[in-house]
Structure 1
Amino acid sequence: MKSSLTLLCLVVWVNVDASSAQTEYCGKPEGEGRRMLPIPDQERYENGDQVEYGCLATCKNGEWDKTIKGKDYCSKPEGADTRMLLIPDRERYENGDKIDYGCLSGPNKGSRGKATCKNGEWSKTIECQAQTEPKDFCGPPPHLMNGDTNGGTRERYRNGESVQYVCQKYYILDPPSAYKTCHDGIWTRPITCLKPCTVDEELMNTQNIQFKYPPEDQTKVYATHGDLITFKCTGHSRLSPVSVDFRQQCINGVMNLPYCQ
């Protein structure tokens, strides 16, 4: 389906001395109608009148100094029947005819659009692209944030080949057995490294809490995704009525801490 570029120009009328003018008005330009529609559409235009037209033309002594001819119909859009379903489906469409169409292939498969025939060209709302041919190879596997492939990588992989990923220390793979596989030139399956939570002494002091079961490092702990940590109030403070419970879980780098007052 070819794109359409519509040029709007003004018909320019030239004022001439009445004594030398052969004709003081112009009729419709040659080729008006299906090929070009003057706006406003009149039978006669006086000196000084302006109209929207297919291109620039000048009225001189009752004659147009340039004739622009346009195509008065459109053939079926490119890709009809193979990647487009047309409504109505005809071999020829007149200027101004509108169609509804659906995409049968490509990235817009299943989408619907509209098109209008203008001077032999189709103006459309979406493009129905051809289905791309499957690729036999993939390039290097994609980068994983906070992780990497297990082992080296190559510049080219055959369809069906897989690579395994690992995460940095304290990060957890999601899904746990994380492979990406080359399929038709694309690496399939999303993989994420879930973030750990860090709880340190300074942060707990602001909440008036401490670990109920202290780790080996009394002042700091790294909790991986899914880990549960139990806290308790320090000194004679008590859990605030608006606080979360003492037992909290690390969820992808986020852990809500209880507050004692």
Structure 2
Amino acid sequence: MFYSFHFYCIYHLINMKSSLTLLCLVVWVNVDASSAQTEPKDFCGPPPHLMNGDTMGHNRERYRNGESVHYECQKYYILDPPSAYKTCRDGIWTGLITCLKIEGACINPTVMNGFIVQSNERNVDPRNSKIYYSCNVGFKPSTGGWWGEATCTEGTWSGILQCIAQGVICDPPPKVENAIVKIPYQNKYIEGFEVNYECRKSFEIEGLKKLTCENGSWTTSPPTCKQYCGKPEGTGKKILILDQVQKRYENGNQIDYICISPYKGPGGKATCQNREWLMPVECKASCPDPPSIENGDFIKEKRDEGITEVYYQCSRRYTLSFTGSIRCQNGIWPSPPKCLRPCEISTFDAEYNLKNLPKKYYTAHGEKKTLQCKEGYYHKYKILGWNIVEIEVKCDDGEMQYGEHKPICAILIHR
């Protein structure tokens, strides 16, 4: 493998005040000695790097003969020659391109009370390019019209890049605590501009919601966002307010109250806080007599003043539907338990042929019993036949439960 290089020299005007300058570039060519006598190559590798510039588009790993790649220069540089490109020929990129630094280029300016809309593009000589700018709300270009423009000449922008006030304008509207203003923030607002306030959740607005820019100021004072409490729950029925009764109270207001019969308690001072009343002493309703139950009675237990909790017990052979106590809350008793009845089994004796049952035989609610047939008698199951002598029953609130088969015993008959 051996290397060679070629010289390419051109004349170019570097800047408007200089003389002609000879620019010589060296292009290295890599030649593979083993393939020096072979057919030309059909592909090129990635395009070469350009100082102060780059290719336009995504680069590939290889290109076919005849394909071209265009370049663009960085800002304040310009292609030489303009719109130049490199082409793949016989495996080598051909074409001479440089990015020349431009003397006298203008840097994009800052526009007071405005913004640049369109600025210099790449590969455009910024020495003779234009920019366009627009102004913020309430301002207009000093040259008149909706848009302003300026041209770069020898490193200086021509014209005045300035936005002047248009008519009478207002400063930003006042901020309101716990309020939201649904407008984009600006330094100035034009005549006739309207601002609407909304309070955050759980706050109520007081005053005018809308302000308008007129004659350089906002028409009215801004509203306020406050939290209020209504009258305390149970006013006139459960509690009596000793102060003057109002429809609503501001956050932090306090009232004195007492309890109304049959509710008991010393009363006190309530405070409005975050739309709720904080009452140090609750007015509790006095409880009536506990509810009575059939075949049972309650056992009183006193709490504070009066009876507020009771336990129940049933008469002999009866069973409570649930154990434990019930409590009176806000003057109301919950439903008491029931006394569930026992079951009398002796009624089966005569017709059902059960073994050794006394005249009166009881079993409690929920209890299971095993009954037996008299000697020589059997319980008949529809499926199993005449071979059962024991029958299981269960008591359910005075009723015997035995499924589909009644506890009847009969004499076994052979066929």
Larger proportion of strand: 2
- Structure with the greater relative contact order (CA < 8 A, sep ≥ 6): 1 or 2? 1
Instruction: Give the structure-1-normalised TM-score.
Output: 0.40
